Amino acid sequence: MIPLWLIPLFPLVGTIVLAIIALSSSDSKQGPAESITGAVAVLFPILSFLSVVTLSVGMPVEGIRGTIGTWIDTAAIQVNIGFLFDGLSRVMLLFITGIGSLIAIYSVGYMHKDRSFARFFAYINLFLFSMTILVLGDSLLLTFLGWEGVGLCSYLLIGFWHTDLKNTKAGNKAFIVNRVGDVGFLLGMLCLVSIGGSALLSYDALNAWLLNALSLGSISNAMPLLSLAGLLFFFGCTGKSAQIPLLTWLPDAMAGPTPVSALIHAATMVTSGVYLLARLSNLFVLIPAVLNIVLFVGLLTAFWAAIAGLFQNDIKKVLAYSTISQLGYMFMAAGVAAFDVSIFHVFTHAFFKAALFLGAGAVIHSLTGEQDMRRMGGLLKKMPLTSLVMIFGFLAIIGFPGFAGFWSKDLILERLYVSGPMGPYVYAIALLTAVITAVYMGRLIIMTFFGKYRGSKENEAHIHEAPASMLIPMLLLSVGSAFAGFLWAGLIPGAEFFREMLAPVVGAAQSYAMLGHTAAHLSPWIFAALGTLAAIIGMLIAWYLFMRPVPEAKGGSEPQGFGASWTFAFDKLHEYVGIIPTKVVAWLLDVVVNTIIMKAQWLTGGIIEILGDGIRAFQVRKVRLQAALSFIGMALITILVLIYGGLL
Amino acid sequence: MTLLNCLLLSFILFGIGIFGLLRRRHLVAMLISIEIMLNAANMNFITFAYFSAEDSSAGAVFNLFVIAVTACEMAIALAIVVSMYRRRHSLDVNELRSLHE
Amino acid sequence: MIHFLLPDILLLFLPFLIVTIRLFSPKRSLLPWYIAVFGLSIIFILLNCISVGETHLFLSNWKVDRFGILMREFLVLAALMGISFSKEYFNYSSDFTPRMHQLSEFMATVIMATFGGIVVLSASDLLTFFLGLELATIPMYALTAWNKKDSIGSEAATKYILMGSVATAFELFGFSYLYGFSGSMLFSEIAAKVVLNPSSPLLWISVLFLLSGIGFKLTLFPFHTWAPDVYEGAPTPVTAILSVTSKAVAISFVSILVFGPLYGIKEQMAPFLSLLAGITLFVGNLGALKQYKLRRFMAYSSISQAGYLLIAVLGPFELALSSIVYYLFIYAFSNFLAFFIFGVIERNRPETFDSLRGLSKESPFLAVALAIALFSLAGIPPLAGFLGKFQLFYSAAQSHHYILITFAILNNVLALYYYIQILKSAWVDPPDSSLFHLIVNLRQKIWIFLLSIAILFGAMLPFLNDNIFRIMNY
């Protein structure tokens, strides 16, 4: 059995090697040799993936635990650096390192001839390191370390082309909004520590404590703090997973290179919020009120983002909003305590969304950076393989029967109806969202691949299929988006591999949550049929609406009119709730308080200067005068003593 | 001859020492003034030893030690005075003013 | 375990050994130098081996207690640093610093002064106390006048011996009244009498004279006027030794007095002590503000440090003494580090702030070490100086001297200002091309490195601090 710490170690070594390469070549004009750098960049994620696979094969049901050493050892907090490899982290690690490796291979082609080639891969490896730490950590603190690490990498990679002000602004926005969420995470940990000490930061200890408190009945005392902790953790998740209210950063994050969008802002990092909910499932099922909040936040987010997706002209922005919308689905599933289903959707979503992003990246790559869909069209014939990948991803995301998204989305919808509060209504809205999903995704496919080419002539000349290093990962991912769903095909009896894998981790929590519910009497086939119907209706609407000449693109790709006010609603909200009050406080501090302090400083400084001059003039050189002054001083002290002693 | 008279005498001696230190500009004269101050203290020890102390031998012994220590101190002081004189050919302390900021 | 008297005896014989060997060795032999360094190191190690549990007594009045052992370690270490620092000045001369002669005698004199400090610490009666103080002071006069050819040095020595003798006279006068008041020389009997009769005029007159006398030695306001002149005029190594050893002996004198014979009236003395401390550190800080000569600046800086040290005396017994010892260690490290750097500078440059210009470009090593030393003296948080000051303030806070502490902390801001002025010359001001190139030899490098490390880790590692507190609260 290989040790657990190998999994994060490989990307870490990769980071260091690549950082050395990047730094040592920083003075040269050419940059490092791409072949060696690319090989190193791909090697370490693949090694990490292979060690995950090796570990997965022989994993016992209760998981593998390994402790490296003590991280923090103070009177207040003791934390070990320990790793936990169980069903949940296995699934997450498999697709994180797997898709991470594929995207690293893809990036070698995509980042070809970029001056900062090595720097890019150093960041990617650092990201994989942080992400594996996040998933593998056996305590909240270690997860938080990874959580911050992925946030940092996201910031670095969004602003990767930092010579463009727009990109750095997007990076700043992502970082700051994420920090707001991180405050929630930190305060949540603080709540747990104040309930039961720092031991509760460890997942195992937390679960044991909850179980113990539940059986003793002493849980009700801790309930207010536990609910607060859950709410705060969820707030942290909304930051990282781009849910209402902290979702505005994700569309802007598309400023980064497309492989980054695929890896970080679609497949892995943004799902860490869902991971945290599943990891803390034992805590969340005890606080149903918070779970309801999760459910409705997810529902609102999914619906809002689907509508916003309709208005986008930038191909990556459409995908960004669809990511937000799909994350909403995952949160909905978590909100009805169907954690295994939400992780399953994370899993399938990783495949088809990565495929879609990589396909979009290939399109952008061949159009030399053009991202506006109104300047595309008719690419089906020119890039058949890319189109195929994109269409596979499209069919998966809208839930076309058989494809990955069908199975996971179908399960989510079913659970919403069966076990959610106000089940049928929530189900209806979620189904409507599915229809809209099909519409905006159909719009994307139609505008990109069908019709006539509408872009510039010079771009048309060299539209080409992507190179092999980009195509192979895309094709592999499209295979995944076609077949990944069969790991848990609800309609096929016995195809429940995925559920069984997660059962040791979240099973107990889910059965506790289901205690009061009676099983639904509806056949799963009805849900499947309704879901399929939604997808087909959405496709038809898209066909009817968008298979017509597209108006010529004018200005930027930003949506106009109602679309703009819908899209930027939450930016406006942030403006009023967060930014303007902060600016007012900053102005107060800067102008009012600072002025007073400055004046006081000048005054004190002036007095001190004068006194210093006085003392300087007081430096006598004649020794007799020195002695005389001392005697005078002594006389003064004598008088003081006499007065104080009451003798005078 | 009472305790108070003797104390007063030594106090006056001390004052004379301080006065001489401040008044005289000649280095050796200043050193003599300091010697007077030290002897005023010696006077005190003898006085207390004679009149009031339980442990009267201690005061007397202290005196001898003080005289020895003072001799050392004065030896060094005079050595410094001599080296001063060699440098400057003057023993006026008011000329000791080359040290300043 | 070794006998508690062994280090003291060795230290007493070391100067004679050095001088004797000097007589019988060739003229430029380094043997006495090695003997001194080796001997002091051995004594330092032996001191660490003495059991600290109980108070050892020899012939009923040579006392070796916990504070005594810690301070012995400090004094021996300071002497070691002092002679290492002095070595350079016997090797070369320049336009600005004449070469010194008779290294062996110099070292013997330094060690004699150190032994004087140890006598002060061991005293349990007034006579020993007085003799120790004189033995610590008289060698200092000789050291100040070491350069016979240097008229500035003789002038400084004259001022020093005049003021120092006056101080001796005051102390002696104070002792005589204390003897008259109690009728005994023994600390224990004096302490008993003080408790019985705390408001006797005789006692208070004696306290007054003692405070004035020690005020001279500790450079308290208004008795500090000699210090800048003497510090500036004396040879640089003597200035360094003066500012560390002599100050340490003076503060131990005060603390032995306050926690020994005069413990009964400590509460009544507190207002005067705090007044003296407050004014002293204020005056020291203000005086340093406008200086441009390095050593005159260090004189004012050490005046204000004396004020800080006096603050701790106000606290309760064990806390006060342990914080004083700890602060002295830190202070000695920082001060010697600064002096080592100034020593490098003044080898071929005038000793003013302007000579530091462009130091960060020319020698980043020295510039960083200087920053460490000065920030430590100023008490900037991660460095040892901060912890030392914190302990001093904590000690005083135990006796509720909050106003004084607030005042001292405000003064710290002032101190930061002038320490940063030096650093500004070293780091910000443009280089001056007319300055000669700096020469740093290996010994200086090693010491600068060691002392920087000691300051950096003195605060981070609890070793020194914990050890002192463990010993004091045995």
Contact B21 A627 (CB under 8 A): yes
Q: For B83, which of C138, C148, C291 is closest by C-beta distance? A: C148
Quick check: A120 and A107 in contact, CB under 8 A? Answer: yes
Rounded CA-CA distance B38/B20 in Å is 13
Report chain C residues whose CB lies below 8 A from the CB of A636: 222
Q: What pLDDT score does C462 carry?
A: 58
Residue A369, helix vs strand vs coil: coil
Report chain C residues whose CB lies below 8 A from the CB of B62: 126-127, 130, 175, 179, 185
Q: What is the mean pLDDT of residues A203-214?
A: 87
The residues, ordered by sequence, that sit 6+ positions from A537 with a Cβ below 8 Å of its Cβ are A435, A438
ipTM above 0.90, yes or no: yes
Q: What is the mean pLDDT of residues A51-60?
A: 86
Q: What pLDDT score does A274 carry?
A: 92
Tell me the average pLDDT of chain A: 86
Tell me how many degrees the CA angle C227-C229-C233 measures, rounded to the nearest 5: 115
> C126-144 and C151-182 helices cross at what angle (nearest 10)?
170
Q: Which of residues 36-65 of B touch A (CB under 8 A)?
A: none
Q: What is the dihedral of CA B26, B32, B34, B39, to 10 degrees?
A: -170
- Distance from the Cα of C293 to chain A's closest Cα (Å) equals 13
- Distance from the Cα of C399 to chain B's closest Cα (Å) equals 35
The residues, ordered by sequence, that sit 6+ positions from A6 with a Cβ below 8 Å of its Cβ are A48, A51
Q: C298-313, pLDDT tens digit by residue?
A: 999 999 999 999 998 9
**Band (A517; pLDDT cuts 50, 70, 90):** low
Q: What pLDDT score does C292 carry?
A: 84
**Band (C415; pLDDT cuts 50, 70, 90):** confident
**Band (A645; pLDDT cuts 50, 70, 90):** low
Report chain C residues whose CB lies below 8 A from the CB of B79: 142, 145
Q: What pLDDT score does A518 carry?
A: 63
Quick check: A310 and A439 in contact, CB under 8 A? Answer: yes
- The domain ranges of chain A are 165-517+528-574, 576-644
> Of all residues in chain C, what percent carry a pLDDT higher than 70?
97
Contact C162 A645 (CB under 8 A): no
Cross-strand partners of A85: A64
- Nearest in space to A280 (alpha carbons), one of A269, A266, A291: A291
Q: What pLDDT score does C306 carry?
A: 92
Query: In CATH, which of 3.40.50.720, 3.40.630.10, 1.10.287.3510, 1.20.1260.10 is domain B3-92?
Result: 1.10.287.3510
Chain A residues with CB within 8 Å of chain C CB: 608-609, 611-616, 619-621, 623, 626-627, 629-630, 632-634, 636-638, 640-641, 644-645, 647
Pick the range with the lowest mean pLDDT from A327-331, A610-614, C122-126. Answer: A610-614
**Is B80 at the interface with chain A, CB within 8 A?**
no
Contact C163 A632 (CB under 8 A): no
Q: What pLDDT score does A28 carry?
A: 73
Q: How far apart, in Å, are the Cα atoms of C266 and each of A606, B29, C307, C398, C454?
A: 38, 39, 18, 14, 34
Q: What pLDDT score does A146 carry?
A: 92
Tell me the average pLDDT of chain C: 87
Q: What is the mean pLDDT of residues A331-352?
A: 91
- The domain ranges of chain B are 3-92
The residues, ordered by sequence, that sit 6+ positions from C165 with a Cβ below 8 Å of its Cβ are B31, B34, B38, B73, B77
Contact B38 C165 (CB under 8 A): yes
Report chain C residues whose CB lies below 8 A from the CB of A644: 271-272
Residue C463, helix vs strand vs coil: helix
Report chain C residues whose CB lies below 8 A from the CB of A638: 208
Q: What is the mean pLDDT of residues A219-243?
A: 89
**Band (C465; pLDDT cuts 50, 70, 90):** low
Pick left, alpha or beta for residue A646 (phi over 0 → left; psi -120 to 50 → alpha; otherwise beta).
left
Instruction: Look up residue B17 and give its amino acid.
Output: G
Q: What pLDDT score does A436 carry?
A: 92
**Is B87 at the interface with chain A, CB within 8 A?**
no
Q: What is the mean pLDDT of residues C199-211?
A: 87
Pick the range with the lowest mean pLDDT from A250-254, A386-390, A517-521, B24-28. Answer: A517-521
**Band (A369; pLDDT cuts 50, 70, 90):** confident
Question: φ and ψ at A644, to 5 degrees?
Answer: -65, -40
* Max avg pLDDT among A456-465, A519-528, C156-165: C156-165
Higher pLDDT, C432 or A186: A186
Rounded CA-CA distance C74/C322 in Å is 12
- Distance from the Cα of C224 to chain A's closest Cα (Å) equals 8
**Band (C431; pLDDT cuts 50, 70, 90):** confident
Q: What pLDDT score does C21 carry?
A: 92
Q: What pLDDT score does A232 carry?
A: 93
Q: What pLDDT score does A437 carry?
A: 92
Rounded CA-CA distance C352/C295 in Å is 8
Q: What pLDDT score does B100 carry?
A: 58
Contact C130 B66 (CB under 8 A): yes
Q: What pLDDT score does A521 carry?
A: 66
Higher pLDDT, A393 or A196: A393
Quick check: A300 and A328 in contact, CB under 8 A? Answer: yes
Chain A and chain C share a number of CB contacts under 8 A equal to 75
**Band (C379; pLDDT cuts 50, 70, 90):** confident
Nearest CA in chain B to A619: B100
B97: pLDDT strictly greater than 80: no
Q: A282-339, pLDDT tens digit by residue?
A: 889 888 889 999 999 999 999 999 999 888 888 899 999 999 999 999 999 999 888 9
**Band (A520; pLDDT cuts 50, 70, 90):** low
Contact B93 C158 (CB under 8 A): yes
Q: What is the mean pLDDT of residues A132-156?
A: 91
Report chain A residues whose CB lies below 8 A from the CB of C410: none
Sign of CA dihedral C144, C149, C155, C159: positive
Q: For A608, which of C228, C275, C414 is closest by C-beta distance? A: C414
3-state class percentages of chain A: helix first, strand second, coil last, to nearest 5: 75, 5, 20
How many other CB atoms are there within 10 angstroms of residue A459's CB atom?
Answer: 16
- Nearest in space to A413 (alpha carbons), one of A532, A247, A304: A532
Structure tokens at A581: 């009050």
Q: For C184, which of B34, B54, B77 is closest by C-beta distance? A: B54
Q: For C225, which of A609, A612, A626 is closest by C-beta distance? A: A626
Sign of CA dihedral A196, A199, A200, A201: positive
Q: What is the mean pLDDT of residues C25-37?
A: 88
Residue C343, helix vs strand vs coil: helix
A596: pLDDT strictly greater than 60: yes
Q: What pLDDT score does A234 carry?
A: 93
Contact C166 B58 (CB under 8 A): no
The residues, ordered by sequence, that sit 6+ positions from C312 with a Cβ below 8 Å of its Cβ are C320, C323, C324, C327, C391, C392, C395, C396
Pick the range with the lowest mean pLDDT from A296-305, A431-440, C194-203. Answer: C194-203
- Nearest in space to B100 (alpha carbons), one of A250, A518, C24, C293: C293
Report chain B residues whose CB lies below 8 A from the CB of C162: 21, 30-31, 34, 93
